[in-house]
Amino acid sequence: MLLKSCCVYSMGVFSLLLLILGISLVLSTVFPHFIQAVVKKEVVLKNGTDAFEAWRDPPAPIYMQFYFFNVTNPLEVLDGERPAVVEIGPYTYREYRPMEEVNFQDNGTKVAAVNTKTYIFQRNMSRGPESDLIRTVNVPAMTVMKRFKDHPILANLIAAYMRSSGEGLFTTRTVGELLWGYEDALLKALKVFRPELDDVFGLFYKSNASNDGQYVFSTGAQSYKDFARVESWNGESSLNWWTSDQCNMINGTNGASFHPIISKNELLYMFSSDMCRSLYAEYEDDVTVKGIPGYRFSPPSKVFANHTVNPDNAGFCVPAGNCLGSGVLNVSTCKQGAPIIMSSPHFYEGDENFVQGVFGMNPNKEEHQTVIDVHPLTGIILQAAKRLQINAFVEKIPTFNLTANVKTVVFPIVYLNESVVIDDASAKKLQSVVVMANVVENVPFMLIGLGIILGGVFMLLMCRQTVPESTVAERQPLLTS
């Protein structure tokens, strides 16, 4: 009897200790900190780590899809009417983007590399072949007219050439030509006078099997927050296209990797050389991709807002003070002087003027928003879609009769959707990390649970010990009556 109660009392003490231990572990967050410390140590760009391998050669298939806008009323546009377009696509390419010429520097705190991108057409994921014809704005002609409008002799020659050759404001070319380049007769003719001009034009001319220059990344060895952050691009640590230092900053990663331990209230910065600028994404929602929980980040409308809504963006008005409105970016200086304007597809979250300016625009969040779904603990991308529209700025150009009646419009040419979903092998690996982290994080709660169960058993035993047998017997009839 004495031995039995001694046993019961130690059980009570033990359950109390378990409760105290469990609760103090929960409060001290030792276990989550332990997991974070392990992750911080693993997610570094160092030869041999999984993070380095995934950065060097992304395992998940990346697809680049193009949706063109086919112009249906070219003659009416020349007469000053609103352009009408039909979206045609997708034309899908598999994108390979390994890091090459990888070179560690500064004791492994930095790594230099070029990001070579190769595009392979996927006929079975496309609407038609690359030989499909698209009628769109004649960008070389627009560029040349704008560039030489104040040069009387050349301007006359250009106008005469365009009249005689039948070239105009619009051109009909194949998908392959528009993307990867074609020899333009006007540019070729001009080359006689301006040998420095390239006579080939394409929206992604020279982008296949090539790179956009050397990057130097931070490896994250010093601080996990710096993982894969762009330190410099082509030897420069900032840009020079924009008119404020803030807008010229190169912020964050290249958008293909993110640091681990991402919280809901932080901003994910990234630099995109296609967009010629840095931007950020903020937390929007919880998501689940292939069974793995993650956070959805997306650039808020503020990022592309006009300078009255977001004064930080004043520096994106070029030339200084010449602001176009929300949702569009004049990237002319970053695209060899071509009158190119970047926006979200269908001017999603852009000024209503742009949407109304072209018949056929139908912006919606689902298809046109840029999203990045990350696994917050490891920073691994579960799913992402970068969406961007390339437009031409079409306006009346004095000295060219051809454009005399044209209304000023930001004219959509094509939009792209560059997307990726985590591959099954990586998802499986990540899944086991998620499970392990869950188990470890729940150890204190398991202790508390055990403490509660033992405490319950202890109390039960205590009650049974103190309640005399007779009371139990007396109560019996009460229950039945």
Ligand X SMILES: *[C@@H]1O[C@H](CO)[C@@H](O)[C@H](O)[C@H]1NC(C)=O
* Nearest to ligand X of 326, 426 (CB atom): 326
* Nearest to ligand X of 331, 448 (CB atom): 331
In which element (H, E) is residue 435 found?
A: helix 424-466
Q: Give the shortest CB-262-to-ligand X separation in angstroms.
A: 16
Q: By CB under 6 A, tell whether 121 contacts ligand X.
A: yes
Q: By CB under 6 A, tell whether 332 contacts ligand X.
A: yes
* Nearest to ligand X of 37, 320 (CB atom): 320
* Residue 353 near residue 367 (C-beta atoms within 8 A): no
Taking the C-alpha atoms of residue 254 and residue 384, their distance in angstroms, rounded to an integer, is 13
Q: Give the shortest CB-225-to-ligand X separation in angstroms.
A: 12
Write the Ramachandran bin of 345: left for phi over 0, alpha for psi from -120 to 50, otherwise beta: beta
Q: By CB under 6 A, tell whether 333 contacts ligand X.
A: yes
Q: By CB under 6 A, tell whether 306 contacts ligand X.
A: yes
Of 319, 321, 468, 477, the one binding ligand X by CB under 6 A: 319
x/- contact string, 218-257, with ligand X (CB under 6 A)? ----------------------------xx-x-x------
* Nearest to ligand X of 306, 378 (CB atom): 306
Taking the C-alpha atoms of residue 300 and residue 285, their distance in angstroms, rounded to an integer, is 13
Q: By CB under 6 A, tell whether 122 contacts ligand X.
A: yes
Q: Give the shortest CB-290-to-ligand X separation in angstroms.
A: 18
Q: Among residues 262, 258, 304, 255, which one has the least CA distance to residue 286? A: 262
Q: Give the shortest CB-277-to-ligand X separation in angstroms.
A: 6
Q: By CB under 6 A, tell whether 47 contacts ligand X.
A: yes
Q: Judged by CB under 6 A, which stretch of 15-23, 222-230, 328-336, 455-463 contacts ligand X?
A: 328-336
Taking the C-alpha atoms of residue 224 and residue 48, their distance in angstroms, rounded to an integer, is 17
78-97: b or e for each residue (b if 16 or more CB lie within 10 Å)? beeeebbbebbbbbbbebeb
Q: By CB under 6 A, tell whether 325 contacts ligand X.
A: yes
* Residue 87 near residue 67 (C-beta atoms within 8 A): yes
Q: By CB under 6 A, tell whether 118 contacts ligand X.
A: yes
Q: Give the shortest CB-248-to-ligand X separation in angstroms.
A: 7
* Residue carrying structure tokens 């003070």: 321
Of 87, 266, 312, 367, the one binding ligand X by CB under 6 A: 312
* Nearest to ligand X of 12, 325 (CB atom): 325
Report the SS3 class of residue 131.
coil
Q: By CB under 6 A, tell whether 320 contacts ligand X.
A: no
Helices (H), 285-423: 352-357, 365-368
Percentage helix, strand, coil, to 5, in the chain?
A: 40, 30, 35
Q: By CB under 6 A, tell whether 88 contacts ligand X.
A: yes
Taking the C-alpha atoms of residue 45 and residue 50, their distance in angstroms, rounded to an integer, is 9
C-alpha radius of gyration, the chain, whole number: 31
* Residue 328 near residue 388 (C-beta atoms within 8 A): no
One DSSP character per residue, 210-246 reads B-S-EEEEE-SSS-GGGTT-EEEETTBSB-SSSSSTT
Of 102, 197, 434, 450, the one binding ligand X by CB under 6 A: 102
* Nearest to ligand X of 80, 311 (CB atom): 311
Of 218, 330, 343, 426, the one binding ligand X by CB under 6 A: 330
Q: By CB under 6 A, tell whether 116 contacts ligand X.
A: no
Of 124, 131, 265, 480, the one binding ligand X by CB under 6 A: 124
Q: By CB under 6 A, tell whether 125 contacts ligand X.
A: yes
Taking the C-alpha atoms of residue 62 and residue 345, their distance in angstroms, rounded to an integer, is 19
Q: Give the shortest CB-278-to-ligand X separation in angstroms.
A: 4
The torsion angles phi and psi of 371, rounded to 5 degrees, stand at -135, 150
Structure tokens at 383: 């799913």
Taking the C-alpha atoms of residue 374 and residue 8, their distance in angstroms, rounded to an integer, is 50
Taking the C-alpha atoms of residue 279 and residue 328, their distance in angstroms, rounded to an integer, is 14
- Residues that bind ligand X (rule: CB under 6 A) add up to a total of 41
* Nearest to ligand X of 198, 312 (CB atom): 312
Residues within the interface to ligand X (CB under 6 A): 47, 70, 88, 102, 104, 118-122, 124-125, 132-135, 180, 208-209, 246-247, 249, 251, 277-279, 306, 308-309, 312, 318-319, 322, 324-326, 330, 332-333, 351, 393
